[in-house]
Structure formats: C-alpha cells, structure tokens
Amino acid sequence: MFKLPEEVVKTTEKFSKALTEFLEGRMNADRFKGVRVPWGIYSQRGGRAFMARIRIPAGVVTPQQLKALGECSLNYGDGVLHVTIRQDIQIHGVRIEDVGKIISYLKDFQLSPRGGGGNTVRNVTACPLAGICPKERFDVRGHAIALTEFLLQDINSYRLPRKYKIAFSGCERDCALATVTDLGFIAKRVDSVEGFSVYVGGGLGAKSMVGQLLEEFVSSKDIAYVAEAVKRVFFKYGERRDRHHARLRFLVERLGVEGFRNLYRKELEGLKRTTHIALRDICLRYPPDVEDDISVAGDSQFEAFKKYNVFSQKQGGYFAIGIRLPLGDIPAEDLIRLADIGERFSISEFRTSQAQNIYLCNVRADMVYPIYSELKAAGLARLYIDTILDPIVCRGATTCNLGLCNSKGLAEELVSNLEAADIDLDTLQGMTIKISGCPNACGHHPTGTIGLHGIVRRVGARPVPFYKILLGGKVMEGGTRLAEEVGLVPARNVPAVLKTFLTRLQGSLERYEGNVHDYLTHEGKHIMEKVLEEHSYVPPYEEDPSFYRDFGQEEDFSLVGRGPGECGAGILDMIEADLEEARAKLSLAEEKAHDTGLLKEILYLSARALLVVKGIDPKSPEEALEAFYREFIESGIVSPRFRDLKARFTTLRGGMGDFEYARALYEEVRSLYASMDSNFQFPTRERATEEVGALDLRGTPCPMNYVKAKLFLETLPTGSVVDILLDGGEPIANVPGSLEKDGHEIMAIEDLGGFYMVKVRKGMMEVKGDQNAT
Amino acid sequence: MPLRDEQIERYSRQIILPNIGGKGQEKLLEARVLIVGAGGLGSPVALYLASAGVGTIGIVDFDNVELNNLQRQVLHRTDTVGMPKVKSAQEAMRALNPEVRVVTYQVRLTSENAEEIVREYDMVVDGSDNFPTKYLLNDVCYFLKKPLSHGAILGFDGQLFTMIPDQGPCYRCLFPSPPPPGAVPTCQEAGVIGAVAGVIGTLQANEVLKVLLGIGRPLLGRLLIFDGLSMEFREVGIPRDPNCPLCGEYPTVTELIDYEEFCGLRRGRSGPHG
C-alpha cells in the first residue's frame, strides 16, 4: 500500500513552523497562502473556513484510513466529507489553527494533503475497480501508487508552472479518464510484456482538450522515466505567467505534439543516461477464487441493490459493493460507520471513484447480503450508483470562489424530478449527467453523455442563471469525444428539460439497435433542440420572478459578491453579449440615419458591458452611466473625452457627431475588454491579486534599482503584486515615487530595519504616442 | 531573451522612458538598420543608433576617409584617413558599443545590388549626397516596403522626411524629376557646415528609433526644413501625389531603372559622400 515518502514526512515539520509563524503574526496571509496551497489547504468561499484535500493514490483506501478521515472531520471540520472526481477525500470547514493537527494526525495513517493543491503533482488516479474489474488488462493500482511515491520525493514536483495530473486506466474503456488528463497511461500488452500507451495534454476546463498519443507503448518499468521526463519538459518550458494558459495541454498545443515529443525524447534520453529509477514494488493482495454465488431470494429490495450496486469481480465468488454518495458528500458519522462495517466483515480495501462514490472491495458472496443489511440500516444502501440518477456535480456557487450557478442545488432538484418521473434506467444504461456551475468543468461536463454548465444571460436589465446543454461526451481510448453544445436553457427549466428529453429519448431508443452515444449525437440532438425550444422562454420578472432566482436561493440571482476572480468566465459571457448587441445596434443606426433611440442604447450597452467586473448590476441607463463614469472615467481607465457622457446621453439629437461619439465609446470599451488581463480582469482596488514574489534590490544604486524594478514589473500581468526590497536613503526616497508615476500602485512600505519592503501592484501601463499618425 | 545586467545599465536612461521600457529595448536589439553613406549625415546616425543598441547596423560607402571629411564626418578620425570609410565607421561604432553587429558594404549602391542589400534590413537611412542614389533608395525601399529616412544638407540648410511605403508620400511625390544637372551645386562646390550635418543626421536617428519602436509621430507627409543661419525650423505638408510615377494610382516606374541616366549624369560622376 501507499507509504508517505520521506520528503513529505520531513516537510510536515516545515509546514507546522510556517503555520505557527502565521498564527503568531510573523508571516503575512499572502505568503502563508503560498505555503498552504501546495499543501492542499484551500480557503473556502467567505475566506474564514478552510478545506484540506487529502490525496488517495489510485483511490485505494483502508477502513482505518477512512475512520481517521472521519475523525478529523468530526473533531476539526464541519462533519461532512467530500469525495472528489479525482479520488481525493476532502475535509471541509476546518479552522486554520487545526490544519496542522489534521496533517500530523493523518501522517500516522500514511495520508497527507501534500500536493493536493497548487502547481504540484496532483493525486495519481486509477480505475476505481482496478485489480478486481473483469475487463481490465492488468491491475494498475501498483503503478499509480509507486509513481506517486516517486514523484512526491522531488522538490520540483511542488513548483511546476501549473498542476500536473496523471491517471492510469486498466483498459481501453479508460475509466480513469487518462485521455483527458495531463498525462494518461492506458494498460496494454505487447508480446506478453505489460506496459502502457501514453497520452499527453488532455484536460477539462474552460478550454478542454483530448490528450494526444505520446508513446504507442512503454513497458511498465519505464513509466517513471516517462512521467519524470514529461514533468521536466513542463517545468522548463511551461507557461508560468498566464495562469489561464499554463496547463500542460497549452504547451502541447503550442509546440504541437511532435515538437513536444522531441523535447520529451531529449529529456528522456538524458534521464535514462544519468538516473536509475526503480519504482517500489507495491505489494497487492488478491483473494483466492471461491465457488460461491449470492443466493438470497425473496427480497425484492436486495435484488434491486444487487442489480444496480453490486459488481462481480474477476476473482470468482467476490464482489464489489458501490455506495452512492449524493453529490459526493458523506457525513463523517456515516463514513466512520461504513469503515466499521468494513472492519467487522474483514474488508481491507475501499475505493473512491471518479464518479464521487465509494466501493467496498473483495466482498465474498456469502457476505454480500449481511453487509447490505447493515448498509441499509445505516441509510447507506442508496440504489442506482453511476446512473443518470447519480449525476456528477461540482460544488458550485455555494462554496467555490469562482462558481456562477448553484449546480448543487440544481442537481438535488433534478434527481428528485427524475426519480418521480417514469424513467427506465435500463434503456438509458451507460448515460451520465455531469454538471459544472461555470464553464470550468470541475463537474467534468465535457465528458458527460449529457453535460451542463452554468452561465449568465441578461433578460431585460436582470441577470438570469442559465445552463448550456451539451450532448454526446464519451471517454474511450481512441474514441474520446468531448460533448457538443446543443443550446441554452434558463436554470429553472433544466429539470423539466431533462425529464422531457429523457422520456422522449427513451421512447425512441427502445426501437434503436446501435449505441446510445451515436444516437445522442444524431437523433438525440434533434430531440434536445426541440425540447430546448419549448423551454427557452423567460417571462418578464413581474410575471414570474422564479426564473431570476437560482436553486436553493432566497434572493434574486446576482453577480454582486462574486469576485471576478481568476475565472469570471460567466462574466465574460455577459460582457460579450452586451458588446455584441451594441455592435448590432451600431450597424442598424448607420442604416437608420442615426436614430436617437438606437444611439442611446449603444451608449447604455457600452457603459454597462464592463460594469459586471466591478460587481455592479445597473437597473437603468442612468445607473449604468453613473457607475461607468465613477468606475472607468474618473479612475482614468477610459479616456477623459467621455467625461460628458451623462450630459450627452440626455441631449442626443442623432446627428453624425452623436453617431461618431457612440461608436467611439463602443470601440474604446471593446478594445478595453480586449486588453483585459486574462488573470485579473481590471486593475481596481477591490480586485483579487496574485503575489508574484519578491525582488531584492538591496545594494543596487539609483537609478538602476528603479530600472530593474520597472523591467521586472513589465513581465507581469496587470494587477500582480510584488514585494520589492530597497535600501534606505536615496532608493526609498525615489523609487516608490517613480513607480507610482509609471502608473503602479504602492500598497505598503514597511521599514524592516536597515532596508524597506515596498509592496507594489502593477498598474495598467499607458503608453503615450500614437503609432505612425498620418 | 531577458536583458543582461550590463545591458540594463548601458541602456538604463532610455529603458526608464515609459514608451520604451524593456520591451522597447528588446525591439531595438533585434532591429536591423541600413545606413547609406558614412559621411556627414551617416556619422551621427551611426553613432546614435549604435549607442541606442540597434542590434544590426549595415553601412554602405565606397570611398576612403579623406582629410577634408573630418570637418563634418564625426565617425572618422585623423588616424583613419586613407582607410575605407566603412572600416573606419565600424571601428568607431565597435568602440562605442561592442554589442552592435556592424555589417560593411564597401560598394557603390546601384540598381544591380540595391535590392539584395536593402532586403536584409528593417529600415534604411539615406545619408547620400547625390540625386541618383536618393531616387534609387526611394524606389528600392518602396518596392521592398521598407521605411526610409530621407535627409539632405547644403551650406547652412538641411531637410528631412520619412517615407513609409503606402502610408505617406515618397521622394518622387515631392520631387517628380531631378533638377537639371548642374542646377544644384554639390557640397564639394558650395560648402557645408559640419554642425548642420549633425543636426539633420541626429534628427534622422531620432526618426529611425521612433519608427522601430512604433511610437510617436514620424515625419510622414511632412518635410522638415532647417535654416541654420536664421535658426528656423519650418514644416511643409507634402501630400501624396496620385500621379506619382512610383506610388501613384497608375505607376510607370515598376522596377529599378538607370538612375545616372535618369538624372542626366554620365556614369561615375557622383562625388564623395556629403
């Protein structure tokens, strides 16, 4: 089984020290964030509570470990744990001072959150039923576990350009999603040698990509060389500045798979020449085949459980039992109870699955019924694991800093709707529903046979939660396809849409011979289009305000308080919608002799477009113009020639001059949007910032220190925050002023005795002088 | 490539400027400029471009340094008299800034070799002293779409403008045909003040830097005229000529021609560079 590498055990002490320094006020929050995130400790929405993401290599976990995790959640967390789509287990609602206790407690159980977050080697995943699945080519658990142990020893594994995810699948069905992961291994046998085909550059997110074949075949003993060489290429050539294009898939895209392979081969060659890597042989146990079958008759509930939740293993007479966790959540008491049941029946191995469920493994036939009875008594025998009644859902706007729609609320509503409907799970076998609250794909929506992700649309002057519907996602070696967009529907109508769609689909599928996937991308798509059409109408607010409210929310939907953060993807949608409308009205105005009403709308739309990034949601043109004036004109982001915007709006007469004015405003807003930083949206005081690091300019005289500071800032995205160390005297007297004159913001100057630390936020550089004016 | 410490120090005073910065400096280091004529105009251009860190500077001149050149051609020194001008220029630029790559062409620029040489550069500076070369440079730069800084001096007077192909007028829009032979005296005949060469050449260098960096307003469609005696600068707007034989609507000059003949000169009459 997995053993924590020495490096992780050793650095645990370092983490505790940093935590103490932070708690005693000797380390600031930003700096501590740089320590805790690579330790898998994230802040939750609101910023008070924390979450610890514990890595579970290959999803293999013992009852003792589950108990320990449950204890931690009870003692230090909010009492509910969460299984992630990458097989980790998260403890939520933890106070920061207790984080150290969790880490040191779990260490004795060979568990750690190290590398659970940040730009690190993340949990190495495997098929949830590896080693027991009758279809697999061979067991890949050991590979995933041993590779984890190897990679976690290297300090560079914690300072990559971005996260590095690795997955192992036991056969071409690719249950571990290796073809949509940064680095994916798929088991294969060539001339009876065990090995893998290797895929690189896959990933799901705002820009999803399917991995490309890097190696046709590598033998099992070479996997560490492969993973390490890819890691080194990523380390050396990966994008570190633009977080939105930093994942390995963007490097592969940039270089092309051939170009990437060349760099990788070179790295691999050097590695093999200089380093000998032997992975630890992981001791895996299998039960001996027995001749036995589950034979309890007359219990119809158990029959259903057997049908949907019990799976035959490749070891004769043994079974895996699936525990469906709604939304991937399980109360700590339940988890401890589950572990207890396991221990009492001598079950030594559990698994976490990519579908956010838990499996008990190696259950002997005669134990299935007794265990089922216990599970049922504990309320854990929920039917229909991995069916459309078991959707995969991200945490959404309830806890995520970036979430747009409350995907969790939607899923609950959806499941209760589908349960009540007359839906035949057998006909729809193999279908999955995957839901993300925003386009970032934490709910894996691009791989769902039905995928949904939240976006925002405006109706009248109000934002309305919507979902995009995608169909036909499929994961399979050589056949992975991302789901295709079919259309949009207001969030409130999603349950009705899916209910109607599935009912109709089922009717026509019954007569269809081929596979569901083919059907979905053709006939299924037309059915969905029809259903969407019937459900796309959003009545005015006065008629039915429920459309303007998200699931489980008391108040009207709003983007206020939803920081632009690093992924304001839904926000971008809104901006683009406004700009598109303004553009359309512009060409209309040109045709219609500069109609006053149209020009007013253009001014309104242009002014409103960017206000969402400031969390402002104007209800009228006056409000929009006022806010635009305050946020963009007064602050110097937009040219002062639009100072008279409000007056102009009321006195518009519709001449050529007014038309040109409206066009100029639209153009300016549009180019401002185009120049918006992909990390930081706009440089404002409220905006999230990213600490880039420190620049030590002590000993550098004036004006070289200023020149160096300027050059350093040039390389960073707008909004980045840098600590600059400066000598006293002339340097501290001059440099901050000069940087301020360049448009950067001096956030703080701290006297550190003998020298100073200046905290600078990079401003928008305004370059004077127009190019080649004629 | 990030700037090295020594580069940061050397160019610090221009890196500080808001519209140059490190990115602008990197642009200059990657830029390639051709100077035609290592004489009175070419000297300040060569020195200022080298000092600003323009990465590659080509220099074309056929002549050797003569003692009478030193009064205005500040690239050369008493001890380089007799040496090819391009060699003397290369030494001076290297001494000033060893990191600049100086490419020398000890040839007369002709219709036969102009394209091959000009093609390698991002921008060209006209520091020549004769009409055939001025028309040749104008045409070749127009054909190859290279910006050209035109400059000329005589006595206490000087003038310059910048040609960016298809964005503003060319030399032919301004002077459709050369003056009759002998109508305009050469520097050799009429004399010239070294400081005037310095003024105009320095302004040309400034134009080049602006165009390379893509900043400011170059002298596009504007002829700047300097009178060193009354100490006046005048700007004359020059429109694009729709009937220009080169860049007009119906061009008649579509390839390089015999410029000696065009200027009514016999071959080989062009004097030493101004």
DSSP states of A149-192 = HHHTT-GGGGS-SS-EEEEEESSTT-TT-GGGSSEEEEEEEETT
Whether the predicted pLDDT of A310 surpasses 50: yes
* pLDDT tens-place string over residues A210-224: 999 999 999 999 999
Q: If pLDDT is split at 50, 70 and 90, which confidence band does A269 have?
A: very high
Q: Is residue B268 part of a domain?
A: no
Q: If pLDDT is split at 50, 70 and 90, which confidence band does A255 have?
A: very high
Interchain proximity B23–A703, CB inside 8 Å: no
Mean pLDDT in residue range A13-26: 88
Q: Which contiguous run of DSSP H or E holds residue A600?
A: helix A596-609
Nearest CA in chain A to B214: A771
B4 touches chain A (CB under 8 A): no
Higher pLDDT, A505 or B83: B83
Cα(A290)–Cα(A318) distance, integer angstroms: 8
Q: Which residues of A touch B12 (CB under 8 A)?
A: 703-704, 707
Q: How far is B2 from chain A (nearest CA, A)?
A: 9
pLDDT of the residue at A687: 35
Task: Mark residue A69 as left, alpha or beta (left: phi above 0; alpha: psi -120 to 50; beta: remaining).
Answer: alpha
* pLDDT tens-place string over residues A382-439: 999 989 899 999 877 666 656 678 888 899 999 999 988 878 888 888 889 999 988 8
Whether the predicted pLDDT of A718 surpasses 80: no
pLDDT of the residue at A766: 47
pLDDT of the residue at A657: 81
Whether the predicted pLDDT of A725 surpasses 50: yes
Interchain proximity A774–B12, CB inside 8 Å: no
Q: How far is B6 from chain A (nearest CA, A)?
A: 11
Interchain proximity A706–B16, CB inside 8 Å: yes
Whether the predicted pLDDT of A381 surpasses 90: yes
Residue of B9, B21, B217 with shortest CB distance to A710: B21
B268 touches chain A (CB under 8 A): no
* CA-to-CA dists, residue A742 to A585, A702, A737, A763, angstroms: 38, 16, 9, 8
Question: What angle, rounded to 10 degrees, do the helices at A569-591 and A656-674 form?
Answer: 160
Q: How far is B83 from chain A (nearest CA, A)?
A: 39
pLDDT of the residue at A424: 83
Q: Which residues of A touch B218 (CB under 8 A)?
A: 772
Probe site for chain A from B6, B8, B170 (most A CB atoms < 10 A): B8
Residue of A710, A768, A772 with shortest CB distance to B19: A768
Per-window interface: B 197-236 vs A, CB < 8 A:
211, 214-218, 220-221
With CA atoms as reference, report the closest residue to B39 among B228, B270, B255, B246.
B270
Interchain proximity A703–B12, CB inside 8 Å: yes
Interchain proximity B8–A707, CB inside 8 Å: yes
* CA-to-CA dists, residue A354 to A53, A173, A469, A733, B261, angstroms: 15, 14, 21, 57, 83
Residue of B16, B21, B164 with shortest CB distance to A703: B16
Task: Mark residue A130 as left, alpha or beta (left: phi above 0; alpha: psi -120 to 50; beta: remaining).
Answer: beta
CA B269-B270-B274 angle, to 5 degrees, is 150
Q: What are phi and psi of A660, to 5 degrees?
A: -65, -35
Residue of A711, A715, A770 with shortest CB distance to B217: A770
Q: Which residues of B touch A739 (CB under 8 A)?
A: none
Residue of B9, B16, B214 with shortest CB distance to A771: B214
User: What total number of domains does chain B contain?
Assistant: 1
pLDDT of the residue at A643: 81
Whether the predicted pLDDT of A683 surpasses 60: no
Please give the ipTM for the structure prediction.
0.74
Q: Which residues of A touch B20 (CB under 8 A)?
A: none
Whether the predicted pLDDT of A691 surpasses 70: no
Higher pLDDT, A126 or B263: A126
Q: Which residues of B touch A714 (CB under 8 A)?
A: 21-23
Q: With a cut of 50, list the residues of chain B below it in pLDDT.
A: 267-274
Probe site for chain B from A702, A704, A705, A710 (most B CB atoms < 10 A): A710
Whether the predicted pLDDT of A565 surpasses 60: no
The pLDDT mean for chain A works out to 86
Q: If pLDDT is split at 50, 70 and 90, which confidence band does A684 have?
A: very low
Q: If pLDDT is split at 50, 70 and 90, which confidence band does A688 have?
A: very low
Domain that includes residue B113, residue range: 9-262
Asked whether A480 and A396 are in contact (CB, 8 A), the reply is: no
CA A65-A69-A72 angle, to 5 degrees, is 140
Q: Is residue B225 part of a domain?
A: yes
Q: Which residues of B touch A740 (CB under 8 A)?
A: none
Q: Where are the beta strands (DSSP E) in A603-744?
A: 690-696, 720-727
Asked whether A188 and A195 are in contact (CB, 8 A), the reply is: yes
The three-state (H, E, C) secondary structure of A103-127, written as one string: HHHHHCCCCCCCCCCCCCEEEEEEC
Cα(A214)–Cα(A202) distance, integer angstroms: 11
Q: How far is A774 from chain B (nearest CA, A)?
A: 6
Whether the predicted pLDDT of A89 surpasses 90: yes
Asked whether B218 and B207 are in contact (CB, 8 A), the reply is: yes
* pLDDT tens-place string over residues A280-302: 888 787 888 887 777 766 688 89
B169 touches chain A (CB under 8 A): no
Higher pLDDT, B243 or A440: B243
* CA-to-CA dists, residue A306 to A327, A371, A404, A420, A554, angstroms: 22, 12, 38, 22, 40
pLDDT of the residue at A399: 65
B23 touches chain A (CB under 8 A): yes
Q: What are phi and psi of A239, to 5 degrees?
A: -75, 125
pLDDT of the residue at A158: 87
Whether the predicted pLDDT of A184 surpasses 90: yes
With CA atoms as reference, report the closest residue to B115 among B98, B99, B137.
B137
* pLDDT tens-place string over residues B67-92: 999 999 999 999 999 999 999 999 99
Q: How far is B15 from chain A (nearest CA, A)?
A: 7
Q: What is the residue type of A217?
A: F
Nearest CA in chain A to B6: A704
Task: Mark residue A524 as left, alpha or beta (left: phi above 0; alpha: psi -120 to 50; beta: remaining).
Answer: alpha
Q: Is residue B4 part of a domain?
A: no
DSSP symbols for chain B: -PPPHHHHHHTHHHHTSTTTHHHHHHHHHH-EEEEE-SSTTHHHHHHHHHHHT-SEEEEE--PBP-GGGGGT-TT--GGGTTSBHHHHHHHHHHHH-TTSEEEEE-S---TTTHHHHHTT-SEEEE---SHHHHHHHHHHHHHHT--EEEEEEEBTEEEEEEE-TTTS--HHHH-SSPPPTTSS--HHHH-B-HHHHHHHHHHHHHHHHHHHHT-S---BSEEEEEETTTTEEEEEE----TT-TTTSSS-S--S---HHHHTT--TT---S--
Q: How far is A770 from chain B (nearest CA, A)?
A: 5
Which residues are paired to A41 by β-bridges?
A52
* pLDDT tens-place string over residues A94-117: 999 999 999 999 999 999 999 998
Interchain proximity B21–A714, CB inside 8 Å: yes
- 3-state DSSP helix/strand/coil % of chain A, to nearest 5: 45, 20, 40
pLDDT of the residue at A679: 39
With CA atoms as reference, report the closest residue to A470 among A505, A435, A437, A499.
A435
Interchain proximity B8–A770, CB inside 8 Å: no
Whether the predicted pLDDT of A514 surpasses 80: no
Which residues are paired to B229 by β-bridges?
none
DSSP H helices, A24-160, are 29-36, 63-76, 96-107, 141-151
Q: How many CB pairs under 8 A join A and B?
A: 54
Q: Is residue B88 part of a domain?
A: yes
With CA atoms as reference, report the closest residue to A716 among A698, A692, A740.
A692
pLDDT of the residue at A746: 86
Q: Is residue B147 part of a domain?
A: yes
Whether the predicted pLDDT of A754 surpasses 50: yes
* pLDDT tens-place string over residues A613-662: 776 777 788 889 989 988 888 777 787 778 888 888 888 877 778 888 88
Asked whether A466 and A508 are in contact (CB, 8 A), the reply is: no
pLDDT of the residue at A686: 32
Side by side, the strands of the sheet bearing A745-751 are A690-696, A720-727, A755-761, A745-751
Q: How far is A435 from chain B (nearest CA, A)?
A: 43
pLDDT of the residue at A630: 85
Interchain proximity A708–B8, CB inside 8 Å: yes
pLDDT of the residue at A680: 36
Interchain proximity B12–A771, CB inside 8 Å: no
Cα(B152)–Cα(B161) distance, integer angstroms: 10
* CA-to-CA dists, residue A358 to A45, A60, A325, A425, angstroms: 26, 10, 7, 21
Nearest CA in chain B to A773: B217
Q: Which residues of B touch A766 (CB under 8 A)?
A: 18
CA dihedral B225→B226→B231→B236, nearest 10 degrees, is 10
Residue of A708, A768, A772 with shortest CB distance to B167: A772
Q: Is residue B183 part of a domain?
A: yes
Distance between the two ends of chain B, CA-based, in angstroms? 39
Q: Is residue B269 part of a domain?
A: no
CATH number at residue B213: 3.40.50.720
Cα(A204)–Cα(A453) distance, integer angstroms: 13
Residue of B12, B211, B215 with shortest CB distance to A707: B12
Whether the predicted pLDDT of A460 surpasses 90: no
pLDDT of the residue at A772: 37
Cα(A9)–Cα(A578) distance, integer angstroms: 53
Cα(A256)–Cα(A214) distance, integer angstroms: 11
CA A333-A337-A341 angle, to 5 degrees, is 175
pLDDT of the residue at A685: 30
CA A412-A413-A416 angle, to 5 degrees, is 85
B12 touches chain A (CB under 8 A): yes
Probe site for chain B from A700, A702, A711, A738 (most B CB atoms < 10 A): A711
